[in-house]
């Protein structure tokens, strides 16, 4: 196996590779760009015209998606997986991965779309670096462009794995892209209605890329979902087949964000049990959270809570209230 296939090992050790560019026997180029960043380029004759960014580990304690990308990188470096797409693999927060914590000083995935310019410290520096890597990778005109940012959480999801579609002023995702999400094992899609400072939000809102968060909930690493997802991503990297049947888009349960719950002070507290799942429907009038004099309630029947977390900085989003479309 080519030594650049050990990107995760290099990242966890905080080392640069001795060789920053290597070629497989089939003519695929592997190029180390920065810490936790590997660009894979097929030969011109094999290139199918797709630029695919796969990122994971923006939160250092979400290790299952990191391991999945590590397997894909190993397969390419061994020559078992022969890409026809250009691929950029990114391990988002190397420092948090080494520490085994969610982040270093602040949530990296809230610092994009200008957020890092208003902040400081290692997380802000890394957000700026990731934006520059995405800018350069997606700079070639006339190509199909995709970004999947993989995440897990401590809570289960009542609907199973789901995608988050960042807002874009000019267009919603095409039915073809939604159908592809269904083939990747997603069971729902959540639409934002305003700009979000996430990495996939940056790719979508500032670069015009078809970008999504893939949220797996708390499925264990041994779950068969990950085996199927890895195989689907291998097929995408290998340029296999046409776009899926657009009717598959109808298999996704659609939701939209109706409001955000923002943590204003250290007094913020969720008033829900630890076992509540993402997308669990809650009775009207249910007390969701309190923060000094502020109280958040379920205002309308059918509202559900997604991605609740009290471990965010004051002034940041602590959860989303969503409704089915």
Contact present, 51 and 145 (Cβ < 8 Å): yes
| Cα distance between residue 168 and residue 107, in whole Å | 23
**Exposure letters 16-31 (e unless 16+ CB within 10 A, then b):** ebeeeebebeeebbbb
| Cα distance between residue 10 and residue 8, in whole Å | 5
Residues 6+ apart with CB under 8 A from 226: 64, 68, 216, 219
| Cα distance between residue 184 and residue 226, in whole Å | 10
Contact present, 254 and 188 (Cβ < 8 Å): yes
| Cα distance between residue 151 and residue 308, in whole Å | 14
Q: Which of 39, 195, 215, 303 is catalytic?
A: 215
| Cα distance between residue 319 and residue 305, in whole Å | 7
Our answer to whether residue 39 is catalytic in this structure is no
Question: Which one-letter DSSP state was computed for residue 174?
Answer: P
Tokens, residue 158 = 């009542």
Task: Write the DSSP string, 92-155.
Answer: S-HHHHHHTSS-SSS-GGGSTTTGGGG--SHHHHHHHHHHHHHHHHT-STT-EEEEEEEE--SS
| Cα distance between residue 47 and residue 32, in whole Å | 20
Angle at 45 between CA 42 and CA 51, to 5 degrees: 40
Tokens, residue 108 = 């990296």
Task: Write the DSSP string, 214-245.
Answer: EE-TT--TTSHHHHHHHHHHHHHHTT-SSPPP
Looking at the annotation, which residues are catalytic? 215
């Amino acid at each position: 196996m080519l030594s650049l296939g050990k990107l995760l090992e290099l990242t966890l050790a905080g080392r640069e590779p001795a060789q920053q560019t290597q070629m497989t026997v089939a003519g695929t180029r592997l190029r180390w760009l920065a810490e936790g960043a590997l660009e894979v380029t097929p030969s011109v004759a094999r290139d199918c015209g797709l630029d695919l960014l796969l990122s994971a580990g923006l939160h250092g304690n979400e290790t299952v998606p990191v391991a999945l990308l590590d397997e894909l990188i190993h397969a390419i470096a061994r020559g078992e997986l022969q890409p026809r797409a250009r691929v950029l693999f990114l391990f988002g927060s190397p420092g948090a991965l080494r520490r085994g914590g969610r982040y270093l000083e602040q949530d990296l995935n809230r610092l994009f779309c200008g957020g890092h310019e208003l902040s400081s410290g290692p997380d802000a520096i890394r957000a700026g670096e990731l934006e520059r890597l995405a800018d350069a990778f997606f700079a070639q005109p006339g190509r199909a462009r995709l970004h999947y940012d993989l995440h897990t959480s401590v809570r289960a999801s009542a609907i199973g794995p789901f995608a988050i579609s960042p807002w874009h002023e000019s267009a919603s995702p095409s039915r073809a892209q939604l159908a592809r999400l269904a083939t990747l094992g997603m069971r729902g899609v959540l639409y934002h209605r305003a700009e979000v400072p996430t990495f996939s939000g940056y790719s979508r809102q500032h670069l015009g890329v078809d970008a999504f968060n893939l949220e797996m909930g708390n499925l264990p690493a041994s779950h068969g979902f990950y085996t199927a997802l890895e195989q689907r991503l291998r097929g995408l990297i290998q340029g296999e087949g046409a776009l899926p049947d657009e009717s598959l888009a109808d298999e996704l349960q659609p939701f939209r964000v109706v409001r955000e719950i923002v943590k204003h002070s250290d007094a913020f507290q969720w008033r829900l049990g630890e076992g509540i799942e993402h997308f669990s429907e809650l009775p009207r009038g249910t007390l969701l959270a309190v923060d000094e004099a502020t109280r958040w309630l379920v205002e309308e029947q059918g509202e559900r809570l997604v991605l609740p977390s009290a471990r965010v900085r004051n002034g940041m989003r602590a959860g989303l209230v969503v409704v089915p479309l």
